[in-house]
Structure 1
Amino acid sequence: MRALYRWTRDLHLWLGLFLSPFLVVYAVSTVLINHNAAPGRGAPEEKSDPVPVVVPDEEDRTRLGRDIIAQLGITGELGSVRRMPAQQQIVIPVNVPGKRRVVTVDTATNLATVATKTPGFLSGLVYLHFAPGQHLVGVSGNWFWMRLWHWMADATVYIVLFLTASGVYLWTVLKAERKVGLVCLGAGAVSFVVLVCGLLF
């Protein structure tokens, strides 16, 4: 029993410390989202001069976009690549946290221009908050670093569940803290039930 307590306590501490930077990202971005903040909304747009590119004969839009941005020396997470035959254009959104690029290829001349906005650090946190979501299913996670962020978002959920369970276990073991813990647990449960009932009914 002592070994279980010691291992649980140590893992609770170590995993909590490991997870803290990721929780800060989600905490700060949640406050920004909750208060309708849009950091960097007015960031200026810079456009590059046209650059010649080779447009590959590729049906898969993600591979097409990846090939073109590689020619331009650009890396990042691709958005939904759009072919626009009527306008003779291919539009390729490319995002990294805090920076947005839109590559527009004129398929008549095979010239590409890049429009860049840099909304900044806080905007990057909001982007990371939303990045693992279900929008752009099948497209999201096409950049290695964003795929790694998706995995860490999953890990964050699992570790928070472990911290919750281990926290309850450690509370039950520490007899001196049981009364205070019971009050906090009860207050949290009542708040949750009241809020859910208010939302549903």
Structure 2
Amino acid sequence: MIQAIRKCLKAAGYVDLATPFKIAGVEFAFTGAMRGSDGRALDLVLLVDTTTGDFGDRDGARVRQRVEALSRALDVTGSHYVVTVILAGAVLAEGIEALSETCRVLQAEGISLDANGEPVDAAAREQLNDRIRVLLPLSLPESPAEGPDSGPAMEQLVKALPKDLDQSLLDAVIVASGSGEQAVTDAVARAIDKALQADLAGKQP
């Protein structure tokens, strides 16, 4: 499961971090750790294998303690990383509710894998993607229908929007959507700031 998750995240632009790693002089060991890039450069993803139980990963309380210690170390260094823990495998019985107060927690379990640790079919792959969707770039599926309204879903969305919508804002959002939610938020914020500055400049005597 860990291999499948790692491969999926790599395809989305995440890179592996060497483990164990040190923060504020403290060493942290996890089954895996990955960092985002571009619009998700502040995403720190921790992979916890609850099936094999490496590093005590079958014990929810121990997992929570390690993540809380990591969170404190990040605070000490002034880091702005957003921590996400992916629990791969069996559901942990305790400590997870408290863990969700410290970081984002995603559970990937019940996904059929082949002998190589890959999803057995397209449905299983989509199931895996759904489990970690919040970490993946925004995307819209293409419509299989033919006719005047056929074409990529993004094109259909653009056609459905009001004609008087600010084109520069729309273009910025579409470009940013490939880099994730944070990139879209940043693009909208920049567009709003630019509009406000222009409005203020126009009101000056």
Question: Which range, TM-score by smaller chain?
Answer: under 0.3
Please say which structure displays the higher CA radius of gyration: 1
Between Structure 1 and Structure 2, which shows a larger proportion of helix residues? 1
TM-score, length basis structure 2: 0.24
* Higher RCO (C-alpha under 8 Å, 6+ residues apart): 1
